[in-house]
Amino acid sequence: MGELIVEADGGSRGNPGPAGYGAVVLDPVSGEPLAEAAEYIGVATNNVAEYRGLIAGLKAARELAPEASVRVRMDSKLVVEQMSGRWKIKHPDMKPLAAEAARVFPAAQVRYEWIPRERNKHADRLANEAMDAGKRGQRWQPGHSAALAAARPAATGPGADTAAARVVGDHAAGAAKARAALAGTRPEPGTGSVTGAGARTGAGARTDSGAGTDPGAAPVAGAALAVPSVGAAAAEATTPAVGWAAADLGAPATLVLLRHGETALTPQRRFSGSGGSDPELSDAGRRQAEAAAALLAARGTVQEIVTSPLRRCRQTAAEVAERLGLEVRVEEGLREADFGAWEGLTFAEVRERYPDDLDAWLASPKAAPTGGESFAAVSRRVAAARDRLTTAHAGRTVLAVTHVTPIKTLVRLALGAPPESLFRMELSAASLSVVAYYRDGNASVRLLNDTSHLR
């Protein structure tokens, strides 16, 4: 039996927030797109959107060739592992979607493969096109998507572009090309006919939006599947207003801030910055990192991981990266403050040895620990790192594994709170905090010092 490839993705601008999915069916030999599907699904989470993309991709493949075996490729570790049966599906919103995906093809015909995000660009572009269309109160239109143009190899000669678009946008031609791929033949250029052994004549098929089910997502704009029956209608709808006063703030860059797990110094409450011995995680710290990784994998929202260069953060980030199947990038601006001569000392020991410096440090953010780095200096470098991350990852969710001072600083800056607020926040080892950054410069603190995964 021949094989088709389905690549699918989904995204949520806010998580939950305005969401959409994209899916493409590919010829496994040439990589040529045979069908595309995309839909804006209203307010939903990343996980829901990803599952909806999977369902749409499977249905698109079934429309083309119900007898085919299907290889699904996605950058969602959560969906791949759950659909492969290696992870349990615990979230009540995911169970009906996973069950629907499992019903499209017999289980023996489908296998799942995780791929890095950079190899899933076509489906990612489709999901973003669908969300952009929904934002305009419109419906994604098949056949001439930017994702298709980017995926299609350069063609030459009169009508080359329109011919390629017609193949993807026309069900009979797409089905013929799918059958050709399964039979080891290829359609004649610019037509839906197939030559060679095993070729069959294409037939029309029913319209299927591939929408799936999601009680929590408003069906604001209908799905658009690039293999419609002749005369399939496109229903226009108005996008509901979201956010404060229906303001269009765009998709925020969301930083999920994970403090590293414990080291040997943490329970003793000793100063441990970037100027000390760079301790590693303790056994308790490794267990905390594993617990945080399990929670983040279950949520399935993180799309990028960055970390402080210090060992305890890199070890914590590695635990999460292994569960999510993501790479880790070091961000120097996220390192802890340099506490100079205070490194490794308790507060009481600093009070005894450096009383004047300690009083100055407690009184002013411009005062530095003896031979160390002031809070004002930390604030400048953390703000620069924040700006780099939010600019590079607009509309995406980034896990930043870092330390007490950088996390408190990001929260303080987001709230517009005074420097002394740094001394009024509790931040436990392996705790999670979340800040969303909007393109108008505003920020929203969504979570602070969550340790529920450690209980």
Among the residue ranges 149-153, 166-170, 297-301, the one predicted with the least confidence is: 166-170
Identify the pLDDT of residue 147. 61
pTM: 0.51
Task: Please state, rounded to an integer, the average pLDDT across all residues of the chain.
Answer: 80
- Structure confidence at residue 399 as a pLDDT band (50, 70, 90): very high
**What is the DSSP pairing of strand 443-450 with strand 328-330?**
unpaired
| Least confident span in 26-30, 249-253, 259-263 | 249-253
Task: List pLDDT tens digits, range 180-208.
Answer: 656 554 444 333 333 333 333 333 333 33
Instruction: Provide the pLDDT for residue 440.
Output: 75
Give, in degrees to the nearest 5, the angle at Cα 423 between 450 and 315.
50
Q: What percent of the chain has pLDDT over 90?
A: 63
Average pLDDT over residues 247-251: 59
How many C-alpha atoms does 110 have within 13 Å on its Cβ side? 24
Q: Is 453 a catalytic residue?
A: no
How far apart, in whole angstroms, are the C-alpha atoms of residue 175 and residue 204? Answer: 9
Residues 6 or more apart whose Cβ sits within 8 Å of residue 277: 343, 344
On the question of pLDDT at 236 being above 50, the answer is no
Q: Residues 204-230: what's their mean pLDDT?
A: 32
List the Cα angle 15/20/22 in 5-degree steps. Answer: 130
28-71 pLDDT, tens digit each: 888 889 999 999 999 888 999 999 999 999 999 999 999 999 99
Residue 73 DSSP SS3: strand
Question: Which domains are delineated in the chain?
Answer: 3-144 (3.30.420.10), 253-454 (3.40.50.1240)
Closest-CA residue to 310 (of 337, 283, 290)? 337
Residues contacting residue 124 through CB under 8 Å, at least 6 positions apart: 9, 11, 22, 75, 117
pLDDT score at 139 = 87
DSSP 8-state assignment for residue 366:
T
Which pLDDT score, from 0 to 100, does residue 250 have? Answer: 65
* Identity of the residue numbered 403: H
Could you list the residues known to form a binding site for substrate, using ranges. 312
Q: Is 122 a catalytic residue?
A: no
Asked whether the predicted pLDDT for residue 365 surpasses 80, the reply is yes
Query: Of 7, 122, 171, 260, which residue is the catalytic one?
Result: 260
Among the options 63, 129, 331, 336, which is catalytic?
Answer: 336
Report pLDDT for 439: 80
Alpha carbons 424 and 449: distance in angstroms, whole number: 13
3-state class of 412 per DSSP?
A: helix
Contacting residues for 145 by C-beta, under 8 A, at least 6 apart: 36, 38, 125, 126, 129, 226
* pLDDT digit string, tens, across residues 99-148: 999 999 999 999 999 999 889 999 999 999 999 988 888 888 876 566 65
pLDDT confidence of residue 177:
60
The answer, yes or no, to whether the previous bond of 369 is cis (omega within 30 of 0) is: no
pLDDT value at residue 187: 42
Lowest mean pLDDT among 107-121, 230-244, 252-266, 336-350: 230-244
Q: What three-state secondary structure class fits 230?
A: coil
What residue numbers does the annotated binding site cover?
312
Taking only the tens place, the pLDDT of each residue in 12-25 is 998 888 999 999 99
